[in-house]
Amino acid sequence: MTSQLLSVKASAASGVFSRLLATDATLGPVALRVTLALVMFAHGAQKALGWFGGYGWDGTMGFLTKQVGMPGFAAAGVILLELLGPLLLLAGLGTRAVALGFIGLMLGAIATVHGQHGFFMNWMGTQPGEGFEYHLLVIGAALSLVFAGGGRWSFDGRIAGGRR
């Protein structure tokens, strides 16, 4: 009886896992995955590696912990999410989880840093900081991936054993 119960529980867990990874075979999510991965990787590389004019790990940790007031583990999580999350998106692995992480990241950035500067980016250099329009675009793209999954050519779909 116990082995049957364990089998039923394992089957249910497998079903939930498969549903979380299931996706369709369209190319829309692929376009979103690749675009979001490229944009977010550039920001992650700035924060973690100092590429593209960024401050690198130490500078970013200093900013996030001292100026923004984040705990060290959360600041490290932000940096790692922006650096490693895009690599997972490119592979289509854990697409929904990474997308949810990006949504949380962007909501946090709006709440702690960018919301006070209004909607628009600081294209003309006339305001004290950057607005949150970029963050809304990331949220929209990530939310679409939460709904649709990784799309064609994703490891999520392969692991799930099929498409929905």
- In order of 71, 79, 163, the CA distances from 59 in angstroms are 15, 11, 43
Full pLDDT tens readout for the chain, 164 residues: 555 544 544 555 567 767 778 787 789 999 999 999 999 999 999 999 999 999 999 999 999 999 999 999 999 999 999 999 999 999 999 999 999 999 999 999 999 999 999 999 988 889 889 999 999 999 999 999 999 999 989 999 888 875 44
Q: Please give the distance of CA 25 from its chain centroid, rounded to a whole number.
A: 21
Contact 97, 21 (CB under 8 A): no
Confidence (pTM): 0.85
